[in-house]
Amino acid sequence: MPITEILARNAELYGDEVCLIERNPEEERRRVTWKEYELIEDTAKGGRRVMTWKEFNEKANRFANLLLSRGIKKGDKVAILLMNCLEWLPIYFGILRTGALAVPMNFRYASDEIKYCLGLSESSALVFGPEFIGRIEAICDQIPRVKTLFYVGENCPTFAESFDKLITYCSSDTPDIFLTEDDEAAIYFSSGTTGFPKAILHPHRSLTASCVTEQKHHGQTREDNFLCIPPLYHTGAKMHWFGSFLAGSPAVLLRGVKPEWILRTVSEEKCTIVWLLVPWAQDILDAIESGEVKLENYQLEQWRLMHIGAQPVPPSLIRRWKEYFPKHDYDTNYGLSESIGPGCVHLGIENTHKVGAIGVPGHGWEVRIVDENRQTVSQGEVGELAVKGDGVMTCYFNDPKATAETLADGWLFTGDMAQMDEDGFIYLVDRKKDVIITGGENIYPVQIEDFLRQHSDIKDAAVIGLPDLRLGEITCAIIELKPGRNVSETQINDFCSALPRYKRPKKIIFAEIPRNPTGKIEKPKLREIYCGKSLVKAQIEN
């Protein structure tokens, strides 16, 4: 069934119940403990907005009818460029209700990237917020296909129309548009870690399958409350919320990632499920250990599940986490935008003893590990991870060459290198593109990064290959220390003596590790900084 039917069901069954809560700590008027917070009237809780299922459904319908009145029809594309906010999801579902495709866009895109993605997706309308006025104004005369610009917020710019004013005049009735699970629903963009993003096309079937997979993995019930921190434009955040959406349970959209804000929100909103990225989990632990936050100031007993996705998870991080939160269930999820986000592979809360693995095939998914000829490798051998299920994309929109390279017989070839142990658990080794070949030996940076993060003074680590005339490449470790820590290169080299000699970094650089909004290390940026022609030239001259 199309995913819009789930929203209609929730509005009918749970109409007056709160489904979405937006928290913006920057706007909160008071800093109080959770005990005091419960005594404050909602109207005094600045920075907090709520929406019921009935309101969600009606707002989606109003926007759908506004789009239809502007000539948007089934098959058209409508782009979304918003920070997380209470309007985001009704806008998304409003687009789907028209039969058009929702096209969420990365809030970090510069003007040229916005222009590129609007053109690639063939979007004919754009919804944007106040943070993007300058970026859109810079290109608004260069995107002739985009006929309509809707602005969400106060002080609407002259080149756009006010979303807030217009929808008040639109009908809240559901549009009479027939949809099936085979209809196209959304275009998501790849993370762009290898250049400009690709446009990933998904049907309604993918979105609905994601709802089922997520709920099967984490058992969301009507009693749960999901804390959503990552950006909604990304499949990971939204598709993990889809489990709560299917269950008809509420969720909180938190606009901020500071440890105090996360713990305060879990406490005050009585959140039971939190999906974190690795840096945020590390920051919480560091804040606890430094005394910046004190757990006794928060009500956290109801928090039952912490799970992480979007990137490899250092086992040392989870061991630290369980020291402070021993009663938490833990899960890690592996997915791609091409496989509609969460859980084509997942660890499972019952398999914490296998921390370090990304897990086993998710609900409704098949998995293979293959060689360069796409033949299944033997157990324990490293190969490329391939997945198959209802969540696999239809194609890369307007890119048949990339589609043919990635899809075959229903299988999605992920570009991630993995291996399977004797118990059938899959371990992510590295990105195929990130493998370092030094003297003919394959080195997988993730393995070295996981090792380095076990050092008590290291906050984050990234390993890349640097060009070398003799070996082809050598391993370079960029290391970000925890605040106030001071470690020498010699000490790092001594620590790495526990690694096999060929895996030990040949160069150490102390610097900040850049990560994108979904927590992935931006290795192309690191290569650009440290692998320039000047380095090769220096080697030649020496």
The tens digit of pLDDT for each residue in 306-335 reads 988 766 677 888 889 999 999 999 998 888
Q: Whole-angstrom distance between the N-terminal and C-terminal Cα of the chain?
A: 65
pLDDT at 287: 94
Write the secondary structure of 168-226 as one string of H (helix), E (strand) and C (coil): CCCCCCCCCCCCCCCCEEEEEECCCCCCCCCEEEEEHHHHHHHHHHHHHHHCCCCCCCE
In residues, how long is the chain?
542
Helix 204-218 with 4-14: angle, nearest 10 deg:
50
Structure tokens at 11: 């509005």
At residue 506 the predicted structure's pLDDT band, cuts being 50, 70 and 90, is very high
pLDDT at 502: 78
Phi and psi angles of residue 9, each rounded to the nearest 5 degrees, phi first? -65, -45
CA separation for the pair 404, 410 (Å, rounded): 11
Phi and psi angles of residue 490, each rounded to the nearest 5 degrees, phi first? -60, -40
List the alpha helices (DSSP H) in 397-500.
400-406, 445-452, 489-495
More confident residue, 75 or 31: 75
pLDDT tens across 404-438, in order?
A: 999 999 999 998 889 999 999 999 876 667 778 77
Which of 28-42, 335-349, 404-418, 511-525 comes out lowest in average pLDDT?
Answer: 28-42
Where do the domains of the chain lie, and which CATH numbers do they carry? Answer: 4-354 (3.40.50.12780), 435-541 (3.30.300.30)
What is the side-by-side strand order in the sheet with 125-128?
A: 161-162, 148-151, 125-128, 77-81, 101-104, 184-189, 199-203, 395-396
Percentage of the chain exceeding pLDDT 70: 90
- Among the listed residues 9, 428, 424, the one whose alpha carbon sits nearest the alpha carbon of residue 211: 9
At residue 191 the predicted structure's pLDDT band, cuts being 50, 70 and 90, is low
Q: Is the pLDDT of residue 112 over 70?
A: yes
* Mean local confidence (pLDDT), 26-36: 55
Q: Give yes or no for a contact between 318 and 330, defined as CB atoms under 8 angstroms apart.
A: yes
pLDDT at 441: 65
What is the side-by-side strand order in the sheet with 18-23?
A: 48-52, 18-23, 251-254, 226-228, 273-276, 305-309, 329-334, 345-346, 360-361
C-alpha distances in Å from residue 187, one per residue of 124, 202, 403: 13, 6, 14
Which of 126-135, 177-186, 318-327, 339-348 comes out lowest in average pLDDT?
Answer: 339-348
pLDDT at 178: 96
Q: Is the pLDDT of residue 40 over 70?
A: no
Q: Is the pLDDT of residue 537 over 60?
A: no
Structure tokens at 173: 């009735």
Q: Is the pLDDT of residue 139 over 70?
A: yes
Mean pLDDT value across the chain: 89
